[in-house]
Structure 1
Amino acid sequence: MIVGWLVASLQGIGMFFLHPVFYVSIILSLFVGYLRVKRERRGFTIRINSLFQELRQLLPIGLLIGVLLSILTIGSGVVIPFAAILLMGIFTILLSLTFQVRLLSPAYIVGLSFLTIVFLAGREIEIPIFSEAFHSLDQPVYPSLAVLLGLLLLAEGILISKGGSKQPSPNLMVSKRGQVVGTYKARKIWLLPLFIFVPGGELVAPIDWYPVFSIGELHFTPIAIPVLIGFSKTIQGSLPQIAIQAQARKVTVLAVIVTTLAVFGNWYSYLSIVAVVLAMLGRELIHYFSNMNDRKLPFYFSQSKLGVKILGVIPHTPADKMGLEMGEIIMKMNGSQVSNEHEFYGALQKNRAHCKMEVIGHNGEIRFVQRALFEGEHHELGLLFIEEGRKERSRAIL
């Protein structure tokens, strides 16, 4: 039995690299990175982060979450009909073609797959190529699919919390009052390798009550599938990390509620439908109200009377090494009071070998930052500011 499980598991892992979603995720990551770099060059004439930033972030954290989620699904014995796996892949590819990264949420991908199965149940509809997979569906509601949705939604909340605020992209725009202000756009894509069971095959349950969330099959096959999760948010009224963490908490709370309902759906099938509909509506409402509340706030990245507000810090530059952060305000440079970008760089020229700044941190306290400057380092320290002279360029971006 052990050898059979091992062989089947290795074959299932191989399915991960044959799945088209795996290659779609790579292409989509590169395209999102290309659009970001293009926007950054228009706004600031430089590339702030590498073209491959999204591709580098695609798998590392997703791999860890995927392994933990796979342990949960295998431990509880969540069995998913093969038709649902096909539908999840199809909806992932279709939603990817819209380039609306936020639509790559399990709430939409798994939710649409679940509702499609409910719709197809009992109907004589011929599905080209995969007709056998859909004809094998023997019931309209599969509680195991709702449980999977809840677990993936929980994974989405964790991913947003841990990686959603890493290296967001700054942007310039002109407000309704005609002032140049800064915003941030966070666009993230994660790929989770998920190990699950599908009905059929040679493997049998090792104990009578396993799998728990089954679909009435005594034999099943383990396979690994790529699950693509996307997140997108534009922030204007607060620091990106604060707004993104708040949204992550809401998604996590929604995931706990959905998962709880889905588990009870194993005994009361109508609760599975309630869980799926709640997940889809809840995820959309979180997005809507989060954006609406953010728009009501004044622009956080606007010009300050206290000094020059930092819009962004380019990685691996002197400013980054000095620990300067977005949203902080530079009051003085080399002893001179500064109120705009021109005055800042004028004061910097007073001493090209060393710079000393007085900075107002996020806690409102003043701290001193200083560092020796070396030949060949970034000539502007690696800081991005909001400058009135960029108004026309900002309009061009819009």
Structure 2
Amino acid sequence: MSIIEAIFLVVLQPIFWLGFLLVAGIHFKRVKSERSHYHVAINRDFYEGRHYLKNGILFSVIGSAILIAIGVVFPLYWVLIYEATAFLVILLELVWDVSLFFLLVTCLLPISIQAIRTLAPQLLSTQIDKIVPRDFNSASFMLLCTLFFLFRWLMIRRFSPEFLVPQVRQGKRGRKLVSYTWKEFSVVPLIVLVPGSFSQELVPFWPLITFNGKHYAFLVLPLVLSGFVRIWRSSIRTGAANESLQAFRLFSFCLCGFIVTVFLPQTAAVFFAVLVLLVILRFIQRYAKMKKKGKWYVETYDGVRVIAIQPNTPAAKMNLEPGDIILECNGKTIANENEFYMALKLVPTFCSLKVKTYEGELKLTESAVFTDSPHELGLILFH
């Protein structure tokens, strides 16, 4: 298959562009919400769309090259079922992070069928053979899980605090609380091989290869991918690092599972069951740790809490992060937002801050301010 044909297969996918339109909708909704709650857009950059395209195209090239080079084959009917249900999953991504759940559910069907064939073949009818042929190796699905966690790990490694979306709510004791979410979503069009020459019967110029007397057609499998971080009782850097580590561990486990199942196909069900268990335990362990340790990002009476930082502003140059508490401004101790703005006006073109981080460390930072408006500093505070 030529490079031009490969690009044609990817660009032709309507589901890829549907995902891009939904990402554009997410961006406009976020900016509108920020202007409504904070009277300013925290980050007006359309980074969601830029990252969607970069991740989708880059991961498509990497994943497709791996799948074709290894010669991994997927059942035709399973690919068609996956593509049909992927449209619904993309719509659900607007509300929930369901990409991992969708991947596990869709891989569970063929792996379970192969396991039942090994243990109790009399329980399955011959009609099942159309969905998952008897000679099919379940290692293909372990490789698909491997690519998913590899891409999620690479996606989370690009995390930056400037992409966090703050969510403020009222606490039980009258003070405001803020939590943070970061989510990037993409559709990765993976070019995969399926047995048969049906494609050329429908579209004569569709790419087709022949190996050992068998025909294989190229189809595009839209891998729904998301990176998700939610922070509410841990430092931002720690929260992102933990999510990255978990994704890398799951990638490593799936990679080992794929290598083993290539030679021992009957072990696929065991590795997949352990993978599902690890995912469930990860969610339980994460929330258990959150409730046992750490403190909320809460409105404070000892200084002012920074909710967010606008990119490319003096505040961003001062290496301030969401969750920092400003204790002093231009040499003046402050206890609330009004005192902070009054201290800023003492030196309109310069700002020096004493800050306490989420971990409780003290730091001094300073920067020039180009106008005498406090909002030009680039800080988003509790109001």
TM-score range (shorter-chain normalised) is 0.7 to 0.9
Instruction: State yes or no: 1:226 paired with 2:222.
Output: yes
The Cα offsets for residues 25-59 of structure 1, whole Å up to 9 and x where unpaired, read as 11331233244334323431222123733222212
Mapped partners of 1:10, 1:225: distance in 2? 18
CA, structure 1 residues 90+336, in 2 after alignment: closer, same or farther (shift >3 Å)?
A: same
Counterpart position of 2:117: none
Mapped partners of 1:230, 1:299: distance in 2? 27
1:248-287 map, 5 Å: 248-287=244-283
The Cα offsets for residues 167-207 of structure 1, whole Å up to 9 and x where unpaired, read as 111121122333212211112113334233222344234xx
The one-letter code of the counterpart of 1:109 is F
- 2:16 aligns with one of 12, 22, 47: 22
TM-score by length of 1: 0.79
Mapped partners of 2:151, 2:259: distance in 1? 17
Counterpart position of 2:368: 371
Mapped partners of 2:307, 2:179: distance in 1? 8
- 2:166 aligns with one of 153, 167, 170: 170
CA, structure 1 residues 27+279, in 2 after alignment: closer, same or farther (shift >3 Å)?
A: farther
CA contact (8 A) 2:78 2:132 kept: no
Instruction: State yes or no: 1:318 paired with 2:314.
Output: yes
CA, structure 1 residues 299+306, in 2 after alignment: closer, same or farther (shift >3 Å)?
A: same
The one-letter code of the counterpart of 1:186 is W
Counterpart position of 1:39: 33
Counterpart position of 1:115: 108
Q: Name structure 2 gaps, 5 residues minimum.
A: 115-123, 198-207
CA contact (8 A) 1:247 1:290 kept: no
TM-score by length of 2: 0.82
The one-letter code of the counterpart of 2:74 is I
Mapped partners of 1:43, 1:123: distance in 2? 58
Matched position secondary structure for 1:379: helix
Instruction: State yes or no: 1:89 paired with 2:83.
Output: yes
- 1:196 aligns with one of 192, 196, 219: 192
Mapped partners of 1:72, 1:165: distance in 2? 32
CA contact (8 A) 1:12 1:222 kept: no
Q: Percent identity?
A: 23
CA, structure 1 residues 309+165, in 2 after alignment: closer, same or farther (shift >3 Å)?
A: closer
Q: Cα offset for 1:251? A: 2.2
Q: Cα offset for 1:138? A: 4.2
The Cα offsets for residues 320-353 of structure 1, whole Å up to 9 and x where unpaired, read as 2333222333222122111221210111122323
CA contact (8 A) 1:170 1:182 kept: yes
CA, structure 1 residues 364+51, in 2 after alignment: closer, same or farther (shift >3 Å)?
A: closer
Counterpart position of 1:76: 70
Q: Name structure 1 gaps, 5 residues minimum.
A: 127-132, 209-216, 388-398
CA contact (8 A) 1:91 1:109 kept: no
Counterpart position of 1:161: 157
CA, structure 1 residues 125+36, in 2 after alignment: closer, same or farther (shift >3 Å)?
A: farther
CA, structure 1 residues 241+21, in 2 after alignment: closer, same or farther (shift >3 Å)?
A: farther
- 1:301 aligns with one of 297, 302, 305: 297
CA, structure 1 residues 264+63, in 2 after alignment: closer, same or farther (shift >3 Å)?
A: same
Select between 189-198 and 354-363 the one with higher mean Cα deviation: 354-363
CA contact (8 A) 1:62 1:193 kept: yes
CA, structure 1 residues 385+159, in 2 after alignment: closer, same or farther (shift >3 Å)?
A: same
Mapped partners of 1:62, 1:12: distance in 2? 14
The one-letter code of the counterpart of 1:146 is M
Mapped partners of 2:19, 2:354: distance in 1? 44
CA contact (8 A) 1:37 1:51 kept: no
Instruction: State yes or no: 1:291 paired with 2:287.
Output: yes
The Cα offsets for residues 205-246 of structure 1, whole Å up to 9 and x where unpaired, read as 4xx8xxxxxxxx833234444322123343111223321220
Q: CA RMSD of the aligned region, Å?
A: 3.1
Mapped partners of 1:313, 1:61: distance in 2? 25
CA, structure 1 residues 118+227, in 2 after alignment: closer, same or farther (shift >3 Å)?
A: closer
The Cα offsets for residues 242-261 of structure 1, whole Å up to 9 and x where unpaired, read as 21220221122122112312
